[in-house]
Amino acid sequence: FSDKLALMLLTASFSLSPLVGAEALAQDASRARPSFGVQSQNREFAPDRVIVKYSSAAPERGIVPPGTEIGSEIIMHLSIIDADVVKVPLDWTVEQTIEWYREQPGVEYAEPDYLQFPIEAIPPATTPDDPRFAELWGLNNTAQTGGTADADIDAPEAWDLTTGDSTIIVGVIDTGTDISHTDLVANIWINRDEVADDGIDNDNNGYIDDVNGWDFHNDDNSVYDPADGDQHATHVSGTIGALASNTVGVT
């Protein structure tokens, strides 16, 4: 949506943003597994249990707070993430239990058992109003082309969490990109240390007038050469950072 695009043809450097973590959800294998989603604005958790994960070097596993052996117990082991679901001791809170476990040697993490809600209870995912959005099934697959529904990257669900950050620069290593495209022009990266078309390498990086990137094939500052068939990178750049909900194009 608002990610800036640094257009480069054969090489690029990337600015990586921190990865967003998510709690692992383990379910009883004996039950059916409906589609679940996270109700991120209401982080409810079970009041009577916590999840404890031990490191591989833990001196002891399956521990419970001393003096609470009667009121605390290991409810089940989550083999998928190799963690225990532990009952909160009598007269203890979830917060107290987590704090105790986090202080124990060998405990990798302790956290609440967050509740998950059926996806039907979640407000509709963020979907742009661009007229051709439905054509790109890789973003949101409703079987519109006869394929498998939900075989996609869950773009609308991701947009519920964030629609981009203008401080993140994405380098595109591909053919040239049409930087004047209506869906891209507002999000194209600009080298503020370079003065356009003055014939001088203002930022002393070895490339003259590299305001939007560099064409390493033709060794010039043109990042879009229609005669060379520069179309694919325009498509890729649109997937990464096109303007959304502007009633134009795909996103």
pLDDT digits (tens, 9 = 90+) for 27-70: 333 333 223 233 334 578 999 999 999 988 777 777 777 766 54
Contacts of residue 137, Cβ cutoff 8 Å, sequence gap at least 6: 144, 145, 147, 152
What integer pLDDT is reported at residue 59 of this predicted model?
Answer: 76
The answer to whether residues 130 and 110 belong to one domain is no
Whether residue 202 is predicted with pLDDT greater than 60 in this model: the reply is: yes
The answer to whether residues 190 and 70 belong to one domain is no
6 part of a folded domain: yes
CATH number, residue 222: 3.40.50.200
What integer pLDDT is reported at residue 120 of this predicted model?
Answer: 55
Cα–Cα distance, 19 to 35 (Å, whole number): 24
CA 45 to each of CA 79, 125, 186: distance values in angstroms, whole numbers, following the listed order: 21, 23, 42
Q: What is the mean pLDDT of the segment spanning 11-26?
A: 32
Task: Band the pLDDT of 205: cuts 50, 70, 90.
Answer: very high
Task: Band the pLDDT of 113: cuts 50, 70, 90.
Answer: very high
Asked whether the whole model's pTM tops 0.85, one would answer no
Q: Identify the weakest region by mean pLDDT among 41-50, 74-83, 188-197.
A: 41-50
**How many independent structural domains does the chain possess?**
2
The answer to whether residues 12 and 133 belong to one domain is yes
Pick the last residue of a domain from 88, 114, 140. 114
The answer to whether residues 81 and 189 belong to one domain is no
The answer to whether residues 89 and 193 belong to one domain is no
Whether residue 23 is predicted with pLDDT greater than 50 in this model: the reply is: no
247 CB neighbour count, 10 Å cutoff: 8
Q: Are the C-beta atoms of 137 and 144 separated by less than 8 Å?
A: yes
Whether residue 109 is predicted with pLDDT greater than 80 in this model: the reply is: yes
26 part of a folded domain: no
Task: Band the pLDDT of 10: cuts 50, 70, 90.
Answer: very low
The answer to whether residues 250 and 203 belong to one domain is yes
Pick the last residue of a domain from 114, 146, 161. 114
23 part of a folded domain: no
The answer to whether residues 66 and 186 belong to one domain is no
The answer to whether residues 132 and 231 belong to one domain is yes
- The residue segments making up the domain with residue 65 are 45-114
Q: Identify the weakest region by mean pLDDT among 68-77, 165-174, 178-187.
A: 68-77
Cα-Cα-Cα-Cα dihedral sign, residues 87, 93, 97, 98: positive
**Nearest residue to 187 (alpha-carbon basis) of 160, 202, 165:** 165
